[in-house]
Amino acid sequence: MTDKVVVFVTCGSASEAGRIARALVEERLAACVSISSSIRSVYRWGGKLCDDREVLLVIKTSRDLFDRVRRAVERMHSYQVPEVICLPVIDGAPNYLNWLAGELGGAAGPVTAPRKPRAGSTRRKK
């Protein structure tokens, strides 16, 4: 078991999702926030069945930072009751978990620097 967690947050728009994601990474509350657009959520609110398009944030952070992430999301979010669900990361690729740890909460940096991506690629591609 690691001390890392993944936090799911749904947003009402891509602009809101982008604003929250950038703030969390800038404040070093999250190492990475993935934004998945146009998910469909079916739920009950105010006694009515709702069927809405939302944007999903997948926030990679640590257990120690979760309360700060939750408070930041609640402060920035437009929903009266935003979804903020925290799931443990049981295990993962050591280099990725190492990088994640180095990006959080004022850490000095990764213990093992990841390979720099080639032009036009993301850090996940080789």
Instruction: Answer yes or no: CATH 3.10.20.30 is held by domain 4-103.
Output: no
pLDDT of 123 reads 52
The string of DSSP letters for the chain reads: --SEEEEEEEESSHHHHHHHHHHHHHTTS-SEEEEEEEEEEEEEETTEEEEEEEEEEEEEEEGGGHHHHHHHHHHH--SSS---EEEE-----HHHHHHHHHHSTT----SSPPPPPPTT--TT--
Mind listing the pLDDT tens digit of every residue in the chain (126 residues)? 999 999 999 999 999 999 999 999 999 999 999 999 889 999 999 999 999 999 999 999 999 999 999 999 999 999 999 999 999 999 999 999 999 999 997 544 444 444 455 455 455 544
Spell out the domain ranges in the chain. Answer: 4-103
Q: pTM of the full predicted structure?
A: 0.84
